[in-house]
Amino acid sequence: MCAAALVVVVLIGLSNPGPWAKLAAMAVYVIGLASAWLATRWRLHRTPPGTPEHQLWANTGRAVLAGVLGVVVIVAGDLTGGAHTYVPPVLGVLLLTGVALNYLGIIRWTSPSEHRSRVDPDHLVATVCCALVLVSGALLAATLWTGVPDLARDSRFPVVVSAACGLVEAAVLAGTTLRWWRRDDLRPALMTGALVAGVAMNVTLLLSGLPDLLPWALLPHAAWATALALCALLPPVEHPRDRHDVALSSTSGFVAVLLALPVAAVAAQEGLGLVAVLATAALLGSATRLLLDVRELRQVLRDRRASLTDDLTGLASRRGVHAVLERALGEQRPLVVAVLDLNRFKEVNDALGHAAGDQLLRTVADRLRALLLPGEVAGRLGGDEFVVVAPCGPRTTPDARAEALGAAITSSLGAPVPLGAQVVHVEASTGTATWQPPSSSPAEDDDDAGSLAARLLRAADAAMFDAKRSGGGWVPHDPSHHDDTAGQLALVTDLRTALATGQLVLHHQPQVLATTGQPVGVEALVRWQHPRLGLLGPARFLDLAEAHGLMGLLTEEVLRLGVAQQGAWRRDGLLTRLSLNLPASALHDVDLPRRVGELLVAHGVPASSLVLEVTETVLLRDVARSGAVVRALRASGVRVSIDDFGTGHSSLARLQKLPVDELKLDGSFTRELLVDERARTIVAGTVALAHALGLSVVAEGVEDAETLRALQELGCDEAQGHLFSRPVPAADLPAWWREHGGATGGLPGGGTEGIAGDGRSLVHEL
C-alpha cells in the first residue's frame, strides 16, 4: 500500500508540484503511519506480555502515535496560520518523543535486562550525549559555514535534534545487526533500514524547510513505514541476544569526549552560547559515563578473574581450565591434558579435619605450580581432583611431555606432607590424554573447541580412573582400553538403581577348621545381579562405588543382607559364623556400631557370630579414630579380623596394639607356601605370634591338599579356598553345610533364645 502510494506521489510531484503534490504527500504520510501502526498492533497482540519483543512493539506503536500527532499539529498549523509559531517546537517535541520511545524498545529488544549495563541500563545517558555531540557539532558547522543561517534560531532546530538522535539509534541497531545477523531473521535488518529511513526523512525535512513539505521530503517516510510494517509482519526468531560490552561502551564514551571537547572550546571562543552549553553537557555526561564504565569494567574483570580462579588454591577453576583448554586448542598447538586425583584425601579429611584437608590441597597446588613449564596451567576441577594443561613446544612431542609430566606428578605428590604435628603420605593417580592438531581437518576433529576440550578431559579422566584402580601412579590414555567411559558412567547410574531396588546379592565361601575340615563359618562376598549384564563380581563395581561416593550405601546394603541371611539360617537350624568386609570409610563412621547392633537385634543374631574384616593398612592409618570404632564393636561381642594380613605396612611387633580377634593370611603367602621357604617362615612366625597374643589365624586361597597339610603342620586354625568350596548363593549353602558336618541345631522360640542378650549388650555398649 505504501509502495503504491509512493509511486502516485512521485508521479504527481513530477507532473504538478503544486497543491496537489502537497495533498498527495500528506496522504502518503497518513497512509504510512496507519500501515505502520496497524502492523505494530497486530504483532503486539501476538507477543507474550513482558517480553523484550512485546516492549519493542509497544514502544514502536507509541512512537507511531507521536507521528500521527505530528500530522495533526501540521494540519492545525496550516488551518490556523500558526505554521511558523507553535508548529516547530511542538513538532520537535513529538519527533524527539517518538525517537526516544523507539530507542527504548530497541535497546530492550536487543539487550535483555540481565545483559545490560548496571550504570546505564537503557543506554539513555550514552545516547543523549552522542546526540548532543552531533547537534552541537552540526550547529557549530552551520554557524561557521558562510551562507547558512544560524540553525539555533531557525524553526528547523527540532528536526536537527531528532535527526541526530535517530542517527545514534540507527548506529546502535546496525552494530547489533552485524553481531547477530542470521539469514533466517531479516527483522533486525528491516528495523535498521526503518531507522535509517527515519533519519533520511528528518534530513530531507531539514533541507526542504518546515512546514512547506514537498513530495520528495516524504519518500524516506514511505520507506520507513514499509520497512517497519514488514518487520512487524515477519514471525519472531529466537537467537542469542547482544550482551553488554563494557569495553565497547567505554570506547564510545571516550570518542564522545574527544569530539565534544573541541566543539565546546570553539563554540566558547566564538561566543555561541547554546552550542557551548550543548557540547559541555555532552562532555560532562560522557566523562561521567566513562568513569562509571571504567569502574564497572574493573568490577567485571574482578568477577571474571574470580570465576576463573579457585578460591582455595589460587589455581584455575573448572571454568578457567575450560577457557585455557579451548584457547590452546584454538591455537592449534599439540598439548597434553593431565587429570589427577589424590588417593587418600577423604581419609585425611575425616581423620584430621577440613582445615588440614584444605592445607593439603594448597600444598598439592604449590607442588603442581613448581612442575609447570612456561605456558602450562594447573587447575582444580573440584574436591581433590586437579588438572594440568600443557601446550607443547616445537621440540617436544605430546607423548614425551605426558610421560615426563606423569612421572613428575607421581614423584612430587608422593613425598610426605607435614600437616601440623602430623605427616601424611598422599599419593596421586594421574591420567593423561594428548592431542595433535589435524593436518587436513579430518572428520573426527570437526568438533568445536568446547566439545574437543570436554572430550580430552573425559579421556584423561578415564586414564586417571584406571590408574586409581591399579593403586596409583600414571596411566596414559589408551583409546582401545579407555574409550568405554560412557559405559562406566552408565554403570554408575545402574549401580544407584541397584542399591535402591535390591539388585545386590551375597555369595558365601565356607571357612573350615584346618585340622578336621569341619565348617565353622562363611565369608559373604557381594555380587551384583545386573538385569542386562548378568552376575557381576566386585571388581566391576566396587571401585566405581568408591569413586562416586556410593560406598557408604553399598556397605549398609551388604550389612543388612548379611545379617538378615544369618538370622534366617539360624532360624532354620544352621549355626554358622558370618564374616563381612568393611571398607576404609566405615571405620571413620562412629555411628556404625550402633547401626550394627540394631541389625543384630532386629534379626536375632548373636554378636559373637559376626566377624567384620578390615585391612591392616586401614586400621593403622588412623589408630585413634578407627580404633575407637573397633573397640566399641569388640566390647559388644562382634569379632574383628585383619584381612589380607602381610600385605600392608605393619610389623608383627605392632599386633599387640591392634584391637582385633583374628588374622587372615593373604592368599599370596598361601600360594607360595610350598615353593618359597621364606614365605613358609613368615607364615610360621605369624601363626606363632598370633597364638601367643590370643588371636586365631585363617588362611585364604587354599586350593590343594598339600597346602592344607602344610598349614596344619604350622598350626593354622582355619582355612578358606576353592579346595573346600567356591563362593555359592545363600540358597545352596545349607545343603553343603550339612553334608560337610557343619554345626546345626534348633533354637526354641523361633531361634531367638540366647541371642537378644548379645544384641542388647551391643546396643547398650554404644
Q: What is the pLDDT of residues 706-745, one digit of tens each?
A: 999 999 999 999 999 999 999 999 999 999 998 988 777 6
- Mean pLDDT over 429-451 rounds to 71
9 touches 215 (CB < 8 A): yes
More confident residue, 338 or 298: 338
pLDDT band at residue 303 using 50, 70 and 90 as cut-offs: low
192 touches 170 (CB < 8 A): yes
Q: Which of 386, 235, 241 is nearest to 316 (CA)?
A: 386
Interval 74-102: pLDDT, tens:
667 766 765 556 666 676 677 667 766 76
Handedness of CA 441, 445, 446, 449 (dihedral sign): negative
Lowest mean pLDDT, pick from 332-336, 582-586, 680-684: 582-586
- Mean pLDDT over 466-472 rounds to 78
Q: What percent of the chain has pLDDT over 90?
A: 25
Q: Is the pLDDT of residue 202 over 70?
A: no
- Looking at residue 70, what is its pLDDT? 73
More confident residue, 283 or 568: 568
71 touches 39 (CB < 8 A): no
Q: State the DSSP code for 309.
A: B
Cell numbers placing 290: 566513562
Handedness of CA 464, 470, 471, 473 (dihedral sign): negative
Q: Is the pLDDT of residue 657 over 90?
A: no
More confident residue, 600 or 221: 600
- Mean pLDDT over 53-59 rounds to 80
- Looking at residue 753, what is its pLDDT? 37
- Looking at residue 111, what is its pLDDT? 60
Q: Which of 396, 389, 373 is nearest to 449 (CA)?
A: 389
Q: Is the pLDDT of residue 244 over 60?
A: no
Q: Which of 505, 519, 614 is nearest to 564 (CA)?
A: 505
Q: State the DSSP code for 185.
A: B
Handedness of CA 608, 612, 615, 616 (dihedral sign): negative
Handedness of CA 752, 753, 755, 756 (dihedral sign): positive
Q: How far, in Å, are 61, 169, 224, 325 from residue 101 at the CA level?
A: 9, 11, 16, 45
What's the mean pLDDT when you consider all of the chain? Answer: 76
- Looking at residue 217, what is its pLDDT? 57
Q: Is the pLDDT of residue 520 over 90?
A: yes
- Looking at residue 387, what is its pLDDT? 94
- Looking at residue 232, what is its pLDDT? 81
541 touches 528 (CB < 8 A): yes
Q: According to CATH, what is the number of the domain 492-740+750-765?
A: 3.20.20.450
Rounded to the nearest 10°, the torsion over CA 718, 721, 723, 726 is 130
Question: Looking at 237-384, which runs of residues are DSSP E strands?
Answer: 335-342, 377-382
For domain 318-483, the CATH superfamily is Reverse transcriptase/Diguanylate cyclase domain (3.30.70.270)
Alpha helices in 415-537 (DSSP H): 449-469, 479-482, 485-501
What's the chain's length in residues? Answer: 766
Q: How far is CA 292 from the centre of its chain?
A: 32
Half-sphere exposure in the Cβ direction for 161 (13 Å, CA) = 22
Task: Return the number of other C-beta atoms located less than 10 Å from residue 273's C-beta.
Answer: 11
- Mean pLDDT over 546-573 rounds to 90
- Mean pLDDT over 632-642 rounds to 90
**Coil, strand or helix at 49:** coil
- Looking at residue 420, what is its pLDDT? 77
Interval 401-427: pLDDT, tens:
999 999 999 999 988 888 877 788 888
Highest averaged pLDDT of the listed ranges 83-87, 126-130, 160-164, 412-416: 412-416
Q: Which of 705, 656, 712 is nearest to 683 (CA)?
A: 712
- Looking at residue 754, what is its pLDDT? 36
Half-sphere exposure in the Cβ direction for 753 (13 Å, CA) = 7
- Looking at residue 747, what is its pLDDT? 44
Report the DSSP pairing between strands 428-435 and 473-476: parallel
Q: What percent of the chain has pLDDT over 70?
A: 67
Side chain identity at residue 497, one-letter code: T
Q: Is the pLDDT of residue 533 over 60?
A: yes
Q: Is the pLDDT of residue 113 over 50?
A: no
Q: State the DSSP code for 439.
A: S
Rounded to the nearest 10°, the torsion over CA 696, 699, 705, 710 is -70
Buried b (16+ CB within 10 A) or exposed e, 84-117: eeebbebbbbbbbbbbbbbbbbbbbbbbeeeebb
Q: Is the pLDDT of residue 548 over 90?
A: no
Task: Return the number of other C-beta atoms located less than 10 Å from residue 222's C-beta.
Answer: 26
29 touches 219 (CB < 8 A): no
Q: What is the pTM of this model?
A: 0.48
**Coil, strand or helix at 532:** coil
Helix and strand numbers (H, E) in the chain are 28, 17
Side chain identity at residue 292, one-letter code: L
Place of cell 532546530: 157
Q: Is the pLDDT of residue 524 over 90?
A: yes
Q: Is the pLDDT of residue 46 over 70?
A: yes
- Looking at residue 192, what is its pLDDT? 73
Q: Is the pLDDT of residue 274 over 80?
A: no
Lowest mean pLDDT, pick from 370-379, 543-552, 742-751: 742-751
Q: Packing angle between helix 2-15 and helix 19-44, nearest 10 degrees?
A: 170
Q: Is the pLDDT of residue 443 over 50?
A: no
Task: Return the number of other C-beta atoms located less than 10 Å from residue 394's C-beta.
Answer: 6
